[in-house]
Amino acid sequence: MKTKVCIIGGGPSGLLLSQLLHLKGIDNILLEKHSREYVLSRIRAGVLEHGFAALMREAQCGERMDKEGEIHHGFIISHDGKQDRVDLHMYSGGNSVIVYGQTELTRDLYDARSRMNGAVIHNAEDVQPHDLMSDKPYVTYRAGDEIVRIDCEYIIGADGFHGVSRKSIPKTVLREYEKVYPFGWLGVLSRTKPVSSELIYAKHERGFALCSLRSQVLSRYYIQVPLTDKVEEWTDAAFWDELKRRLSNEVASRLITGPSIEKSIAPLRSFVAEPMRYGNLFLAGDAAHIVPPTGARGLNSAASDIYYLYHAMVDHYLKGDDSGLENYSAKALARVWKAQRFSWWMTMMLHTFPDSLDYDKQLQRIDLAYLFSSEAAQRSLAENYVGLPF
Domain for residue 88, yes or no? Answer: yes
In angstroms, the CA 178 to CA 157 distance is 20
Please tell me the predicted confidence (pLDDT) of residue 215. Answer: 83
Q: Are 229 and 82 in contact (CB under 8 A)?
A: no
* pLDDT-flagged residues of the chain (< 50): none
Is residue 226 domain-resident? no
Which CATH number fits the domain that encloses residue 310? 3.50.50.60
pLDDT at position 43 is 67
- Supply the range of the domain harboring residue 122: 5-178+268-386
Query: Residue 29: inside a domain, yes or no?
Result: yes
- How much is the pLDDT for 81? 85
Q: Is the pTM of this model over 0.85?
A: yes
What's the gap between Cα 31 and its chain centre? 20
pLDDT of residue 308: 98
Is 304 part of a structural domain of the chain?
yes
Cβ atoms 94, 71 nearer than 8 A:
no
pLDDT for 46: 82
What digits encode the pLDDT tens for the residues 178-223?
999 999 999 999 999 999 999 999 999 999 999 999 888 889 999 9
Looking at the 3D structure of the chain, how many domains does it have? 1
Q: Is residue 320 part of a domain?
A: yes
Predicted pLDDT at 40: 87
DSSP category for residue 305:
H
pLDDT at residue 34, as a whole number: 93
Q: Is residue 251 part of a domain?
A: no
For residue 274, tell me if it sits in a domain: yes
Decide if 92 is inside a domain. yes
Note the pLDDT tens digit of each residue in 69-109: 999 999 999 998 899 999 999 999 999 999 998 889 999 99
Q: Could you report how far apart the first and last alpha carbons of the chain are, in Å?
A: 34
Strand partners, 175: 274
Q: Exposed, middle or buried by CB within 10 Å (0-12, 13-18, 19+), for 97? A: buried
